[in-house]
Amino acid sequence: MPRPLHRGVSGIRVSGNSNDFWDAEVKDNTEKEDLDRNHSSSQSFLSLRSPFRFFFQDNSPSKYGVTEHGFTADPFGGGTPRSRHRLTMLFLKLSLVVIVILALTGSFWWTISISTSSRGHIFRGYRRLQEQLVSDLWDIGELSLGPSRLKEIEFCSEEFENYIPCFNVSENVALGYSDGNEYDRLCGHGSRKSCLVLPPVNYKIPLRWPTGKEVIWVANVKITGQEVFSSGSLTKRMMMLEEDQISFRSASLMFDGVEDYSHQIAEMIGLRNESNFIQAGVRTILDIGCGYGSFGAHLFSKQLLTMCIANYESSGSQVQLTLERGLPAMIGSFNSKQLPYPSLSFDMLHCARCGVDWDKKADRVLKPGGYFVWTSPLTNVHTFLRDKEKQKRWNFVRDFAENLCWELISQQDETVVWKKTNKKSCYSSRAVGCPDRVIVMYVSRKPGSFPPICSKGQDVESPYYQPLQNCIGGTNSRQWVPIEERATWPFRSNLNKNELELYGLHSEELVVDTANYKTAVRNYWSLLSPLIFSDHPKRPGDEDPSPPYNMFRNVLDMNAHYGGFNAALLEAGKSVWVMNVVPTTGPNYLPLVLDRGYIGVFHNWCEAFPTYPRTYDMVHADGLLSLETSQYRRCTMLDLLTEIDRLLRPEGWVIIHDKAPLIESARALTVQLKWDARVVEIESNSDERLLICQKPFFKRQATS
């Protein structure tokens, strides 16, 4: 059985016994019957064993009945004291019968009123009583099934502290993958582990935002001191190891490299500073090989949302450290697969010494009019003038970018900025290419060769780890709209009528979705506010309160729909970022989510999510159980919940909204996951429930 939640949210419990009223009524009737048995046998026909007997009396020779002496008795006339006593008793009994009849009639109509009302307070109380009874019986029934049914899932061994299914390099090497492909994402049979991942021995709850952006606990990530000191790139070297913490010095006056770098990029685009990126149409940035997220951390203060993406690393992970800082990040497979983003997803792509061949990956996900920023020693003019090989490589990259219809707008030191064309006609104005020439280009780097435009069959709007295409994608997308023609942030989050028509939606649908999630967020915070401190940031000099003191910062929405949950959180003033996931089994609204200025990804929830354990503070799933159970799936609900447990930080929260039977099934499984769980009724909908869960902080015992 789950233990009670910390200090607040609890299940709806109704004190007392629902049978007390019925037991009292039966007791009263029994006492009356005992009293009647004490009367003489001559009064037996007047007993109240049946209150309806007065309406169905025995046949008698007299209109008013027969006395014990054989004379007719007038019930309204005078008589002997004994007869008057009988008449008095008869009158009292008749009165009692009338009262009982009226009481039963009132109770009958009261019951009918309950059954026909769906919104009154009495109905809700009745429903709560009934549902609590069902819930308790469910718990009793689960216990009666024995330990085999409710056996808790075992904890994983220490080697799986940072395990990510589908990225097992040793298994991939054994299967024959090499030349970098062993780091690709390969979700084969058996990649999922049926155990619960424990945190490292010295794991600590992350510091609250914004303190946690600059300081993290070194024990929470898989990195050594040597890896910290040997970090060489611009964004990586902005770290300092201090006892049990890693500090990121991007805000320091002595180490202002990121701020100067961002300012330089803005000037190269023609802007005054990075604060004007929003006015230039830039809101979302994909940072390829992001270091440890310092570039995105700085831009966050400018209302820019930067997604860090990097290859899988067994230790010293860029993605893991960026997520630990409370910044968006995920693992990407760059070698052979397309990224699980729609075409034309981001306003800017950034690659600072990223060590990634971006040529077959960058153009498809960049919006028309978007910017590509590349920082590399290869672009340094003073360097390649003395090195003929570097000069040759730079000429190839420059020509290739031109063939992609990118305009070189500026080059300074080691940084180059290109701008993607706004016009599709640019591609058709080039000489006609063919796949054979593309292959020659990639093998021999023949100048003048260029990739063709993808056919409609090749140009999948939202590919899911499909093989890379040697062609230009996105030209068939309905979302081919230059960034300058879109509304700037934050007005961009409210798409206009014409923009919504691209997705087959009416403005009323988005309005209703937004209103529903506003209400949901208010309800969630009223339930959880006694347990978190998200609305009460730490003041300078204050000590950290006792756990759970970490706020929600990293949020995963497993079934994002139109991005309404993300919008409601931002409108409510919550300092969070949301990974909006659109399941592959449902309608594809991911382009809509990205066009609203949010970040998101396409994903199959029967496979592991491409991130490290302990990534998110909150996991939200609205309608996901209904969506997954309606499909023919190769995974179970327990598989899904086990994956959520891997993604969730200790003391993190899960909110699942779905049909009542599915919620009850999920609630039963939380026992196996060792979660604290409660079911909450939704007053506006009697067929749906909320499942509120918290993952306890189980510490691994240090081995001697």
What homologous superfamily does CATH list for 491-532+547-695? Vaccinia Virus protein VP39 (3.40.50.150)
For residue 447, the model assigns a pLDDT of 44
CA 302-304-308 angle, to 5 degrees, is: 130
326-338, pLDDT tens digit by residue? Answer: 999 999 877 778 8
Which residues sit opposite 615 in a β-bridge? Answer: none
**Number of other CB atoms surrounding residue 609 within 10 Å:** 24
CA 585-560-608 angle, to 5 degrees, is: 55
What are the backbone dihedrals phi and psi of residue 267, each rounded to the nearest 5 degrees, phi first? -65, -35
Among 553, 291, 191, 333, smallest CA distance to 341 is for: 333
Range of weakest confidence among 19-23, 171-175, 219-223: 19-23
What are the backbone dihedrals phi and psi of residue 667, each rounded to the nearest 5 degrees, phi first? -60, -40
> Which two structure tokens, joined as six digits, stand for 526?
């009223």
108 CB burial (10 A radius; 0-12, 13-18, 19+): exposed
Amino acid at residue number 661: P
What are the backbone dihedrals phi and psi of residue 595, each rounded to the nearest 5 degrees, phi first? -65, -20
CA 187-189-190 angle, to 5 degrees, is: 100
572-625, pLDDT tens digit by residue? Answer: 988 899 999 999 999 999 999 999 999 999 999 999 999 999 999 999 999 999
Range of weakest confidence among 104-118, 243-257, 407-421: 104-118
Q: Where are the alpha helices (DSSP H) in 38-119?
A: 81-116
**More reliable by pLDDT, 191 or 245:** 245
Buried b (16+ CB within 10 A) or exposed e, 165-176: bbbbeeebeeee
Query: Order of strands across the sheet with 406-412?
Result: 329-331, 305-310, 284-288, 346-352, 366-375, 415-420, 406-412
For residue 107, the model assigns a pLDDT of 62
Range of weakest confidence among 85-94, 146-155, 283-292, 307-316: 146-155
Q: Do domains 250-429 and 491-532+547-695 have the same CATH topology?
A: yes
Which residues does 335 contact at the CB level (< 8 Å), separation at least 6? 180, 181, 183, 184, 311
Please count the CA atoms within 13 angstroms of the CA of 175 that sit on its side-chain side. 16
311 Rama class: left (phi>0) / alpha (psi -120 to 50) / beta = beta
For residue 542, the model assigns a pLDDT of 52
Longest dimension (CA), the chain: 139
369 Rama class: left (phi>0) / alpha (psi -120 to 50) / beta = left
What pLDDT band is residue 239 in, cutting at 50, 70 and 90? confident
Could you tell me if 579 and 621 are in contact, meaning their C-beta atoms sit under 8 angstroms apart?
no
Sorted by where each begins, the domain ranges of the chain are: 250-429, 491-532+547-695
If DSSP codes are grouped into helix, strand and coil, which group holds residue 420? strand
**How much of the chain is in helix, strand and coil states, percent to nearest 5?**
35, 15, 45
pLDDT score of 72 more than 80: no
Q: In 231-345, which ranges are E strands?
A: 239-242, 245-248, 284-288, 305-310, 329-331
**What does the alpha-carbon distance between residue 356 and residue 54 come to, in Å, rounded to a whole number?**
96
376-390, pLDDT tens digit by residue? Answer: 888 877 766 677 888
457-506, pLDDT tens digit by residue? Answer: 888 888 998 888 888 999 888 889 999 999 999 999 999 998 999 888 99
Could you tell me if 621 and 586 are in contact, meaning their C-beta atoms sit under 8 angstroms apart?
no
- What is the C-alpha R_g of the chain? 35
CATH number of 250-429: 3.40.50.150
635-670, pLDDT tens digit by residue? Answer: 899 999 999 999 999 999 999 999 999 999 999 999
For residue 303, the model assigns a pLDDT of 94
User: What is the secondary structure of 625-682 as a DSSP string?
Assistant: HHHHHTS--SS-HHHHHHHHHHHEEEEEEEEEEEEHHHHHHHHHHHHHHT-EEEEEE-
User: What average pLDDT does this structure show over 107-111?
Assistant: 61
**Number of other CB atoms surrounding residue 182 within 10 Å:** 20
pLDDT score of 75 more than 80: no
Could you tell me if 266 and 288 are in contact, meaning their C-beta atoms sit under 8 angstroms apart?
no
Most confident of 45-59, 237-251, 658-672: 658-672
pLDDT score of 46 more than 60: no
Sign of CA dihedral 647, 653, 659, 662: positive
**Number of other CB atoms surrounding residue 353 within 10 Å:** 18
672 CB burial (10 A radius; 0-12, 13-18, 19+): middle
Could you tell me if 243 and 263 are in contact, meaning their C-beta atoms sit under 8 angstroms apart?
no
Among 250, 232, 355, smallest CA distance to 293 is for: 250
Amino acid at residue number 144: S
**What does the alpha-carbon distance between residue 499 and residue 507 come to, in Å, rounded to a whole number?**
9
Could you tell me if 261 and 270 are in contact, meaning their C-beta atoms sit under 8 angstroms apart?
no
**What does the alpha-carbon distance between residue 407 and residue 398 come to, in Å, rounded to a whole number?**
10
Find the helix packing angle between 507-528 and 564-571, rounded to 10°: 60
**Number of other CB atoms surrounding residue 79 within 10 Å:** 15
Please count the CA atoms within 13 angstroms of the CA of 483 that sit on its side-chain side. 26
Q: Global pTM? A: 0.75
Separation of CA 416 from chain center: 37
Query: Which H helix or E strand runs over 346?
Result: strand 346-352
